[in-house]
Amino acid sequence: MSEHAPVKINRSLHWFAVLTALFTFLLLGAGGLVTSHEAGMSVPDWPNSYGYNMFLFPPSLWIGGIFYEHTHRLIASGVGLMTTILAVWLWLKDSRKWMHWVGVAAFLLVVAQGVLGGLRVVLADAQLGIFHAIIGQLFFVLTSAITLFTSRWWLAQDSTLPDRTHLQVVVGMTALRRLVLATTVLILCQLIIGATMRQQHAGLAIPDFPLAYGKILPDTSATAVQRDNEVRMSVITENPITAFQIILQMVHRLVALAIFVLIAACAWRTRRQLGKRDPLAKLALFWLGLILVQILLGAATIWSNKAADVATAHVLGGALSLVTGALGYIIAFRRSAALPEIASATTISGAFGGAPAMAANK
Amino acid sequence: MKKFLLLIVVAMLAFVPLTQAADIIGIITLNGTPPPEVPYTPLMNDPTCGAMYKTAPTTHFYVVGPNHELADVIVSLKDVTGKSTGANQPPVTMDQKGCLYVPQILAIQTGQKLVVKNSDSCIHNVHVVPAAAGNPESNQVQMPGGADLTFTFSKPEMFMKFKCDVHPWMFAWVSVIDSPYYCLSGTDGKFVIKNVPPGKYTVEADHRKLGTLTRDVEVKDSDVTVNFTFDVK
C-alpha cells in the first residue's frame, strides 16, 4: 500500500464489512450458547442435520439442544456466505493489494473454521472444540480489522499523512504499541484458557468467588477433590472435577487480574502520552471499562452457577476485549510504523515524556 | 461289565466339581448425610419433557435406605480380568423414559450387549463418552419409536458416561467389567457375587460419587460375607 496515494472510500463495502463483523459477533454468541447449553453434539451428523439438508431441517425438530446447535450452523453458513462476498468485493473494488489478501485470508479462515466445527462433531473430539472456539475469536478480529481498514476514519488517516500532528503522536508509540500487543496476546492466552475450561464440560471447577472453596488458594489434594465431587450436585454437567480443572480456573482468575492491570496501564499511558482526546486514549479507556464489565461477568458466571446466558455473555466480553486490543494495536502500529526513522530519533531524545505529545493534541 | 461300571464312575466324577464355588455376599451402608438431591429444573423447562411430570423429578445420586443402606454401588473382584462370559449372556436393557435414562447406573460385562431403547415421544441422541482406550466414542440418533440401539464394549471401564445432548440433563453411567464376578447393590444395600471360585481376592466397591473401597477376602467352600461402609467426607 502506498501511504500517500489516497484510497477511494467505498461506503457500501465498509458497511457490508461492518455487517459481516456484527454477524460474526452474533455467531460467537450462538457458539457460546451451544457450549453453555452442552449442546455441541446434539446434532450428531454434519454437514447434514439428522439426515436432512441443513437448510431443509424441519423447525419442528429444533428441540432442546438441537435448537442451539442448528441455529449456530445456520448463522455460520450466513457468515460464510457474507465472508465470501466480502472477499470477492475487496478483491474487485479495493485498490490496496494487501487488502485483497486480507479478504482471501478471511475466506480461508471461515472455511477452515466451518470444517473444524464439522469435524468436532463428526470425530466427537472435544479438543477440536478448543481450536474451534479460538479460531472463531481470531476470525472476529479479522472481520473487525477489515471493518477498520475500510472505514472513512482509517482512509482519512491515509490521506492526511504525513502531518505535523501525526509526527508528534509517533513519539513514544513503539513502547505503547508493545504494551498493547503484550496485553492483547495475554487476552488471547486467557481466551485459550477459558475455551479449555469450557470444553472440559465439567461445570464450575470452583463454585465460589472471590474466594475458592472458601480459601484464597484452594486445596487440590486428592482427598479435597474427592470431597468436592461428593457434594457437587449438578444436573447439567455431571462430570467429576479434577485438580487440574481447579488449578486452571485459578490461573484464569490470576490472568484476569494481570490483564486488568495491563489495560489500566495502557489507559493511563495513552492518556498521558497522547492526551485524552486522542482516539487511542479513548479506545484504551473503553477497553478498561470493557474489562471491568468482563470481570464482573466472570464473577456472575460463578455466582449464577454458570447460567448459560451469563456464561455466553462472558465469552462475548472476551471476544470484544480481544478485538479492542487487536484494533488498538493495529492503530498504534500504524502510527509508530508510519515514519520509523523520525519515531526512532524522537524516542531516543526522550520521547517518553508525555508533554510534547499532549501539547500536540491540545 | 467292568468297563461299564468304570464308565459310570467316570461320568459321575465329571459332575462332581473338584472345588466348590461360593458366593461373596454383603451389605453396603453410608455413614453420614449426603447432600440433598436436586430437581431436574431444565427438564421441567423443556416443553415436551416437562409435560410428562407434575412435579420436577430429582437426581438419584445417593440412593440411601432408612437404615443407611446404599444402592447403586458396583461390587466386583479387583484385577480379575479376561474371564468375561459377556458374549454368551443375555443383553442388558436401558431405556429413555420421561427424558431420563432408566436405570442411570448399570453394569455389564465386556462383550455383552447393551440395548438402549427410546420409549419417549421425542428425539434423543445417545452419546457414549468412554474414558478407556479401546472403547470408542459414539453419538447416534434415536427417533421416537426408532429401532433399539445396541452397544458392546471390549475394555473394562467404570462409570462410562452415556448422555443425551438434546436434553443435557440426561446421563447414565455404565460400568464394563471383564469378568462375571460383579453385581450392583440394591435399595436394601445388599449384594451377591455368585459362584466365585476358591482363592484370595480383593473385593472392590465403587460408588460414582463416593469413590472406591476395597477389602481382601479368601473364598473357600462356603459363602463369604464382606460389608462396606462409605463415609460422606
pLDDT by 10s per residue, chain A, length 362: 444 567 788 999 999 999 999 999 999 999 999 999 999 999 999 999 999 999 999 999 999 999 999 999 999 999 999 999 999 999 999 999 999 999 999 999 999 999 999 999 999 888 899 999 999 999 999 999 999 999 999 998 765 555 555 555 566 788 899 999 999 999 999 999 999 999 887 779 999 999 999 999 999 999 999 999 998 888 887 788 999 999 999 999 999 999 999 999 999 999 998 899 999 999 999 999 999 999 999 999 999 999 999 999 999 999 999 999 999 999 999 887 765 545 444 443 333 333 333 333 33
Amino acid occupying residue A173: M
Partner residue opposite A233 with nearest CB, options B35, B141, B168: B35
A11 at interface of B, judged by CB pairs closer than 8 A: no
Q: Would you call A230 an interface residue with chain B, using a CB distance cutoff of 8 Å?
A: yes
pLDDT value for A167: 56
Query: Which comes out higher in pLDDT, residue A7 or B91?
Result: B91
Q: What is the pLDDT of residue A238?
A: 76
Residue of chain B with shortest Cα separation from A42: B165
Report the residue from A39, A229, A234 with minimal CB separation from B165: A39
* Shortest CA gap A141–chain B (Å): 30
Q: Which residues of A touch B141 (CB under 8 A)?
A: 44-45, 50
How close is the nearest chain A Cα to the Cα of B193, in Å? 27
Are B123 and A66 a contacting pair at CB < 8 A? yes
Residues of B with CB under 8 A from a CB of A: 34-42, 46-48, 59, 61, 122-123, 125, 127, 137-141, 161, 165-169, 171, 209-211, 232-233
- Nearest-by-Cβ selection for A63 from B39, B41, B122: B122
pLDDT at B81: 86
pLDDT at A87: 98
Minimum-distance CB partner of B48 among A63, A124, A231: A63
**A128 near B CB under 8 A:** no
Contact A136, A113 (CB under 8 A): yes
Nearest CA in chain A to B139: A44
A39–B166 CB contact, under 8 Å: yes
Query: Cell triple for residue A98?
Result: 494487501
Of A45, A65, A231, the CB nearest to B165: A65
Amino acid at B190: K
Query: How many beta carbons lie within 10 A of that of residue B24, not counting itself?
Result: 23
Tell me which chain B residues have a C-beta less than 8 angstroms from the C-beta of A239.
161
Q: Do B210 and A230 touch (CB under 8 A)?
A: yes
Rounded CA-CA distance A120/B165 in Å is 14
> What ipTM was assigned to the predicted interfaces of this complex?
0.82
CB-based burial label for B7 (10 Å; 0-12, 13-18, 19+): exposed
The pLDDT score that the predictor gives to residue A358 is 35
Put simply, the answer to whether A44 touches B140 (Cβ < 8 Å) is: yes
* Measured distance CA(B96)–CA(B122) in Å, rounded: 10
Judging contacts by C-beta atoms under 8 Å, the chain B residues touching residue A40 are: 165
* HEC sequence for chain B: CHHHHHHHHHHHHHCCCCCCCEEEEEEEEEECCCCCCCECHHHHHCHHHHCCCCCCCECCCCCECCCCEECCCEEEECCCCCCCCHHHCCCEEEEEECCEEECCEEEEECCCCEEEEECCCCCEEEEEECCCCCCCCEEEEECCCCCCEEECCCCCEEEEEEECCCCCCCEEEEEEECCCCEEECCCCCEEEEEEECCEEEEEEEEECCCEEEEEEEEECCCCEECCEEEECC
pLDDT score recorded for residue A172: 72
For B47, counting Cβ atoms within 10 Å of its Cβ (0-12 exposed, 13-18 middle, 19+ buried), the class is: exposed
Question: Which of B165, B212, B230 has the highest number of chain A CBs within 10 A, making it the mutation to test binding with A?
Answer: B165
Query: Which residues of chain A neighbour B149 with C-beta distances below 8 Å?
Result: none
Whether B46 and A38 lie within 8 Å, measured CB to CB: no
Contact across the interface for A50 and B123, Cβ inside 8 Å: yes
State the best of A128, A238, A242 to mutate against chain B, taking most chain B CBs within 10 Å: A238
Q: Do B125 and A44 touch (CB under 8 A)?
A: yes
**Residue for cell digits 430429582?**
B58
Identity of the residue in B38, B138, B232 whose CB atom sits nearest the CB atom of A230: B232
Cross-chain residue pair B166–A63, CB shorter than 8 Å: yes
- The pLDDT value recorded for residue A220 is 95
CA distance A44 to chain B (A): 6
Tell me the nearest-neighbour CA distance from A63 into chain B, angstroms.
Answer: 7
Which chain B residue shows the shortest CA-CA distance from A69?
B166
Q: What is the pLDDT of residue A343?
A: 47
With CA atoms as reference, report the closest residue to A41 among A62, A69, A16, A80: A69
